[in-house]
């Protein structure tokens, strides 16, 4: 049975900061952010945009594209996120409510740093395999925030990617035989009650590149697939230079050219177009890269792609997918670019005020918060710990 992603849609906040503006304000050479990290812009979420509103927007776009039969067959809604808004109630249940989904659905969250979205996706593949004819909605949604003036500040961002998983998918077929590795390490973590993570940035870079090399070698041994079998590779993108460093670690560009594998480096660039403008969105980042690759690369039906997922803590997984005939008709790159172009550019002071406010409690009435979300879904306040949302 062929199972995989039938559609994939993105939602990002309506505000952004230009990385040159941030560099100037912090007294840093802008080239460090644009070239050293590979980031041009960074999405900024106001207090009324949270992981639930982003997830709902992305999921609503997926359901708009879905066949009626696929929506009627929905049996599973999973949110992968590390930005939980409640310690008990699942964000998947909130999204289920906002979208008015049928009651006969399992809805739950998965957490393991940036790996959670992939855990959700592979759970959905297993679910559809065990329940032929059913579909699953997987949403990766996160706000990546480190705080003002921190080392991680230029690697912030926010966004959600929603995917419909079903039999005979029209975008990407997923090979269930992926390769995962787990290693208990404190490279990035967020203790309960703290609003921003603690991170050992340089250790986290090393953990990421080591994990990629180990997972790739293990996948090769288990599946017999080597680098020469992939048309392109997509990576978790905490900043767009990161995957390039991991790839260069196992395949330096000169060696790639000599082995006829230069396309892996060239196509890596095609996977960065959206992330350069959005920044890190934790669990959603890998799938933002997949969307960018599908929208900007000269892929053909039957091409095999490797997706490297990394979540600090740490879990890494290499998932193999195959491009389906007619996949281009399932994407609308123009709409994604227009949505990014339509965002409002913040000044650095505005960004600082919005970020500071969004890291604090929202209160019962969110209408007076800075630059409120004008999209279809928005947080309107928190009363007795109950989050209240506007929906269309």
Least distance to ligand HMG from the beta carbon of 367, Å? 32
Residue number with CB closer to ligand HMG (38 or 169): 38
Contact characters 233-252, ligand HMG, x per CB under 6 A? ---x-xx-xx--x-------
Query: CA-CA distance, 375 to 392, in Å (whole number)?
Result: 9
**Which residues from 32-61 bind ligand HMG, rule CB under 6 A?**
32, 35-37
Residue number with CB closer to ligand HMG (235 or 377): 235
Count of Cβ atoms closer than 10 Å to residue 357 Cβ: 16
Residue from 155, 271, 292, 336 touching ligand HMG (CB under 6 A): that is 155
**By CB under 6 A, is residue 62 in contact with ligand HMG?**
no
End-to-end CA distance of the chain: 37
Structure tokens at 315: 């879990």
Least distance to ligand HMG from the beta carbon of 28, Å? 8
Which residue's structure tokens are 């090769």?
Answer: 220
Question: What is Dmax (Cα atoms) for the chain?
Answer: 63
**By CB under 6 A, is residue 201 in contact with ligand HMG?**
yes
**Could you tell me which of 102, 120, 103 has the C-alpha nearest to residue 111?**
120
- Main-chain dihedrals φ then ψ at residue 369, nearest 5 degrees: -75, 165
Residue number with CB closer to ligand HMG (10 or 113): 113
Least distance to ligand HMG from the beta carbon of 251, Å? 16
364 is catalytic: no
Residue from 102, 133, 151, 326 touching ligand HMG (CB under 6 A): that is 151
Region class of 128: left (phi > 0), else alpha (psi between -120 and 50), else beta: alpha
* Candidates 14, 112, 207, 236; catalytic one: 236
Residue number with CB closer to ligand HMG (188 or 351): 188
Least distance to ligand HMG from the beta carbon of 56, Å? 22
Residue number with CB closer to ligand HMG (143 or 163): 143
Residue number with CB closer to ligand HMG (210 or 332): 210
Query: CA-CA distance, 165 to 137, in Å (whole number)?
Result: 6
153 is catalytic: no
Residue from 14, 82, 109, 270 touching ligand HMG (CB under 6 A): that is 82
**By CB under 6 A, is residue 202 in contact with ligand HMG?**
yes
Q: Which stretch binds ligand HMG (CB under 6 A): 51-59, 173-181, 203-211, 353-361?
A: 203-211
Residue from 13, 157, 169, 188 touching ligand HMG (CB under 6 A): that is 188
DSSP 133: T
**Which residues from 265-324 bind ligand HMG, rule CB under 6 A?**
280, 282, 310-312
357 is catalytic: no
* Candidates 9, 14, 82, 317; catalytic one: 82
Count of Cβ atoms closer than 10 Å to residue 392 Cβ: 9
Query: CA-CA distance, 274 to 16, in Å (whole number)?
Result: 13
Residue from 75, 152, 169, 316 touching ligand HMG (CB under 6 A): that is 152
Q: What value does the CA radius of gyration of the chain take, rounded to a whole number of Å?
A: 20
Does residue 116 contact residue 283 with C-beta atoms inside 8 Å? yes
The contacts of residue 51 (CB under 8 Å, 6+ apart) are 79, 81, 83, 84, 85, 91, 141, 142, 143, 160
**By CB under 6 A, is residue 113 in contact with ligand HMG?**
yes
Query: CA-CA distance, 206 to 35, in Å (whole number)?
Result: 19
- Pair type for strands 172-174 and 315-323: antiparallel
Query: CA-CA distance, 87 to 304, in Å (whole number)?
Result: 39
Size of the site for ligand HMG (CB under 6 A): 31
Does residue 117 contact residue 283 with C-beta atoms inside 8 Å? yes
Least distance to ligand HMG from the beta carbon of 312, Å? 4
Catalytic residues: 82, 114, 236
Report the interface residues with ligand HMG, using CB under 6 A: 29, 31-32, 35-37, 82, 113-114, 151-152, 154-155, 188, 199, 201-202, 204-205, 208, 236, 238-239, 241-242, 245, 280, 282, 310-312
């Amino acid at each position: 049975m062929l199972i995989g992603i039938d559609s994939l849609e993105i939602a990002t906040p309506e505000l952004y900061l230009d990385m040159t503006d941030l560099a100037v304000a912090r007294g840093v050479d802008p080239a460090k952010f644009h070239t050293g990290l590979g980031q041009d812009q960074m999405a900024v979420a106001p207090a009324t945009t949270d992981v639930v509103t982003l997830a709902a927007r992305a999921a609503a776009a997926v359901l708009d594209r879905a066949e009626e039969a696929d929506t009627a067959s929905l049996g599973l809604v999973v949110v992968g996120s590390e930005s939980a808004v409640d310690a008990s109630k699942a964000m998947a249940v909130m999204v289920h409510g906002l979208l008015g989904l049928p009651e006969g659905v399992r809805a739950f969250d998965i957490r393991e740093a940036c790996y959670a979205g992939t855990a959700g996706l592979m759970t959905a593949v297993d679910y559809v395999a065990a329940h032929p004819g059913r579909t699953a909605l997987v949403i990766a949604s996160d706000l990546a925030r480190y705080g003002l003036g921190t080392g991680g500040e230029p690697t912030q961002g926010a966004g959600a990617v929603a995917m419909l998983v079903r039999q005979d998918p029209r975008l990407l077929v997923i090979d269930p035989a992926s390769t995962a590795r787990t290693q208990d390490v404190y490279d990035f973590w967020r203790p309960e009650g703290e609003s921003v993570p603690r991170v050992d940035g340089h250790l986290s870079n090393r953990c990421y590149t080591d994990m990629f090399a180990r997972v790739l070698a293990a996948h090769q041994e288990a599946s017999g697939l080597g680098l020469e079998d992939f048309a392109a590779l997509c990576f978790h993108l905490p900043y767009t230079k990161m995957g390039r460093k991991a790839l260069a670690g196992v395949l330096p560009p000169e060696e790639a050219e000599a082995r006829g594998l230069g396309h892996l480096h060239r196509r890596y660039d095609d996977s960065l177009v959206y992330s350069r403008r959005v920044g890190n969105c934790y669990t959603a980042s890998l799938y933002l890269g997949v969307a960018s690759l599908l929208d900007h690369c000269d892929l053909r039906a039957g091409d095999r792609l490797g997706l490297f997922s990394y979540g600090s803590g740490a879990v890494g997984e290499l998932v193999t997918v195959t491009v389906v005939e007619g996949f281009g008709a399932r994407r609308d790159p123009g709409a994604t670019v227009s949505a990014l172009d339509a965002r409002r550019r913040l000044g650095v002071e505005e960004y600082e005020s919005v970020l500071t406010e969004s890291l604090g409690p929202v209160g019962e009435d969110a209408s007076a918060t800075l630059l409120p979300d004008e999209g279809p879904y928005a947080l309107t306040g928190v009363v007795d710990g109950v989050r209240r949302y506007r929906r269309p």
